[in-house]
Amino acid sequence: MGIRYTSYIDHPKNKHTQFVTYGCCHCRTHLSSSAQVMSKDYRGTTGDAYLMNRVVNVEEGGRETRCMLTGCYVVCDIKCHMCKNLVGWKYVESERKDQRYKEGKFILELQTICKVR
Ligand SMILES: [Zn+2]
């Protein structure tokens, strides 16, 4: 499987006063930050979810097609690479053109993440 790296998200000083780092709620591995939030208006399988531009330290599961309110997508689940906690999914492909902006983006379920410093 190769060497597994854990990336750390730098906390920019001065600039973003509202900057929040999101981590896995079980092991606090850094996953993303408030700077990567594209939308907070999403629903995951467990409740509220964020659409994220970039997520780190996750393992991707197998691809599958899932139909949601906005159409069908090829997605894969994403898990924390340390503790295998399921944290959301990644949009791989959208069947609808107007939803293609989500391709390569991630959903993080709020119940599975926490704010870390
Ligand atoms: Zn974890």
pLDDT at 85 over 90: yes
For 90, the 3-state DSSP assignment is strand
Q: Does residue 108 contact residue 43 with C-beta atoms inside 8 Å?
A: no
Tell me, in angstroms, the distance from the centre of ligand 1 to residue 58's CA: 9
Tell me, in angstroms, the distance from the centre of ligand 1 to residue 90's CA: 17
Tell me, in angstroms, the distance from the centre of ligand 1 to residue 116's CA: 12
Tell me, in angstroms, the distance from the centre of ligand 1 to residue 81's CA: 7
Tell me, in angstroms, the distance from the centre of ligand 1 to residue 97's CA: 34
- The share of the chain scoring above pLDDT 70, in percent, equals 91
Tell me, in angstroms, the distance from the centre of ligand 1 to residue 29's CA: 6
Residue 114's H or E segment, with its range, is strand 113-116
Give residue-wise pLDDT tens across range 7-33: 887 766 666 567 899 999 999 999 999
Give residue-wise pLDDT tens across range 91-112: 999 999 999 999 999 999 999 9
Give residue-wise pLDDT tens across range 35-53: 999 999 998 888 999 999 9
Q: What is the set of domains in the chain, with CATH numbers?
A: 21-116 (2.170.150.20)
